[in-house]
């Protein structure tokens, strides 16, 4: 039997096998063409370079809002107003029970003279504390804060013929309701024409009564108002329209029986005649320096005059011009007064007069920036107002016409 012939392997087959082996090695070893050769090929445009996409940048973290404190305040527990806010609070009552609150809490008024003050022990907890804080002898709680009045009104309320007090701020804004300081001791007893000392601790007023022995000027210490402490009669029948001197050492008044002007000295308990004239039927006032006295003749004549405080009934009054019902100079320069139904201001020498606003019975504020007056009720207006222009008018008290009043600082 003849032997089989082996198939002849051609050169082309050998080349193909070698190429297949090389390709397999390249694929298995991950070999890549030389970078320089690859670049040359791509530059020639034979092979396109792959597009490389950069990964997107990592987004910046969003700003985180700080968490608000659960308990915050602006007054640091010093009862300065509606500043404390507590989400939750505890308060130990007098009988030992603990009361828990679970709603927003702000400082408030327990009564007219005490603040319920909420304050924080830590801003990171919701737990607050509460405490009753007295406002002091002159402080008044209003809207969760202790407010200290700086001025004081005194006026007669014609509904019951008693003297009332309004504690107020510098601009006349009341800080609490009006309260009476005098009582009616018998039928026909009328307390009128109040005058406050310049520190508002003393009140002088006139009593009009059917009993002649009860008439005159009375003095009351406002630290103990009536009926707890009764006012004492300082000057008897005929004495009217009192006004304290700027240093509170003397009392200016007039006598209704002979229409004379007198000065009472507290240190000697004696009165000195300043001026006696049969036509003196109006009111009188001190200059702020205390060196002069301005007075009005009877209301029908409506004339203002000025005399030195030490006149001793031996001087000639200086005419200031037409007007009446003066009440107080400001810095010894201008006096407020009434002419017809207008509030006016005139210089101490009568050289200049201007209308402020329609009204009557004016009185200066202690700082001179305001004038209180009547126009149906008691109002106050800025003193530089002119003929109703540029006026800031605010109601002080809803009290009717014919009310005599005074306005002094409280210290």
Distances (CA, A) of 376 to 168, 311, 358, 388, 399: 20, 37, 11, 16, 7
Q: What is the pLDDT of residue 353?
A: 86
Q: What is the pLDDT of residue 37?
A: 41
**Closest among 317, 397, 399, 401 to 358, alpha carbons compared:** 401
Q: What is the pLDDT of residue 33?
A: 45
Q: What is the pLDDT of residue 381?
A: 95
Q: For the chain, how long is the longest CA-to-CA vector?
A: 182
Distances (CA, A) of 385 to 57, 174, 299: 69, 21, 25
Distances (CA, A) of 77 to 74, 85, 103, 120: 8, 11, 19, 8
Give the global pTM. Answer: 0.72
Residue for token pair 């200086």: 318
**Closest among 182, 188, 166, 191 to 227, alpha carbons compared:** 182
In angstroms, the CA 235 to CA 262 distance is 11
Tens place of pLDDT per residue across the chain (411 aa)? 455 555 556 666 666 665 666 655 555 554 444 444 434 444 444 445 555 566 666 666 666 665 555 566 655 555 544 455 665 555 555 555 555 555 566 778 888 888 888 776 666 665 667 788 888 877 888 878 888 899 999 999 988 899 999 999 999 999 888 999 999 988 889 999 999 998 889 999 999 998 989 999 999 999 999 999 999 999 998 899 999 999 999 999 999 888 899 999 999 999 999 998 766 666 889 887 888 898 887 655 578 888 999 999 999 988 888 888 888 777 667 889 888 889 999 887 788 889 999 998 899 999 999 999 999 899 999 999 998 889 999 999 888 666 789 999 988
Tokens of 175: 């800080």
Three-state secondary structure call for residue 316: coil
CA torsion 25→27→28→32, rounded to 10°?
Answer: 90
Distances (CA, A) of 55 to 52, 75, 319: 9, 54, 98
Domains of the chain: 71-147 (no CATH), 151-409 (2.120.10.30)
For 14-27, the DSSP string reads HHHHHHHHHHHHHH
Residues whose CB is less than 8 angstroms from the CB of residue 399 and which lie 6 or more positions away in sequence, other chains included: 155, 157, 158, 377, 378
Q: What is the pLDDT of residue 25?
A: 56
Burial 395-405 (b: 16+ CB within 10 A, else e): ebbebeeebbb
In angstroms, the CA 348 to CA 331 distance is 10
In angstroms, the CA 2 to CA 104 distance is 116
Residues whose CB is less than 8 angstroms from the CB of residue 86 and which lie 6 or more positions away in sequence, other chains included: 71, 101, 104, 105, 118, 120, 126, 127, 128
Strand-pair partners of 396: none
Three-state secondary structure call for residue 63: coil
């Amino acid at each position: 039997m003849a032997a089989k012939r082996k198939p002849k392997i051609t050169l082309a087959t050998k080349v193909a096998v070698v190429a297949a082996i090389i390709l397999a090695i390249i694929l298995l070893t991950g070999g890549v063409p030389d970078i320089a050769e690859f670049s040359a090929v791509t530059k020639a445009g034979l092979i396109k370079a792959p597009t490389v996409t950069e990964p997107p940048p990592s987004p910046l973290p969003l700003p985180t809002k700080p968490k608000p404190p659960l308990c915050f305040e602006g007054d640091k527990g010093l009862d300065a107003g509606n500043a404390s806010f507590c989400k939750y609070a505890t308060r130990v009552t007098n009988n030992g029970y603990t009361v828990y609150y679970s709603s927003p809490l702000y400082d408030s008024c327990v009564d007219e003279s005490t603040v319920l003050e909420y304050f924080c022990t830590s801003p990171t907890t919701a737990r607050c504390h509460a405490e009753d804080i007295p406002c002091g002898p002159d402080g008044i709680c209003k809207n969760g804060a202790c407010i200290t009045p700086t001025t004081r009104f005194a006026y007669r309320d014609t509904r019951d013929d008693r003297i009332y007090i309004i504690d107020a701020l510098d601009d006349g804004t009341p800080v609490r309701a009006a309260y009476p300081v005098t009582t009616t001791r018998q039928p026909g007893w009328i307390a009128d024409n109040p005058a406050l000392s310049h520190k508002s601790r003393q009140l002088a007023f006139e009593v009009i009564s059917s009993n002649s022995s009860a008439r005159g000027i009375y003095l009351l210490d406002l630290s103990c108002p009536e009926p707890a402490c009764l006012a004492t009669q300082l000057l008897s029948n005929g004495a009217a329209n009192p006004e304290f001197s700027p240093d509170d050492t003397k009392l200016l008044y007039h006598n209704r029986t002979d229409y004379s002007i007198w000065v009472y000295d507290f240190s000697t308990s004696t009165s000195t005649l300043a001026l006696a004239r049969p036509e003196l039927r109006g009111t009188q006032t001190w200059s702020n320096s205390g060196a002069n006295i301005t007075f009005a003749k009877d209301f029908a004549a409506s004339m203002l005059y000025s005399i030195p405080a030490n006149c001793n009934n031996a001087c000639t009054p200086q005419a200031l011009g037409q007007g009446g019902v003066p009440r107080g100079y400001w810095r010894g320069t201008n006096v407020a007064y009434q002419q017809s139904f207008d509030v006016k201001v005139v210089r101490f020498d009568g050289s200049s007069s201007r209308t402020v606003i329609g009204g009557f019975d004016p009185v200066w504020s202690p700082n001179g920036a305001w004038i209180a007056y009547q126009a149906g009720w008691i109002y106050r207006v800025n003193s530089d107002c002119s003929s109703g222009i540029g006026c800031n008018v605010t109601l002080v008290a809803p009290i009717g016409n014919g009310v005599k009043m005074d306005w002094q600082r409280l210290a």
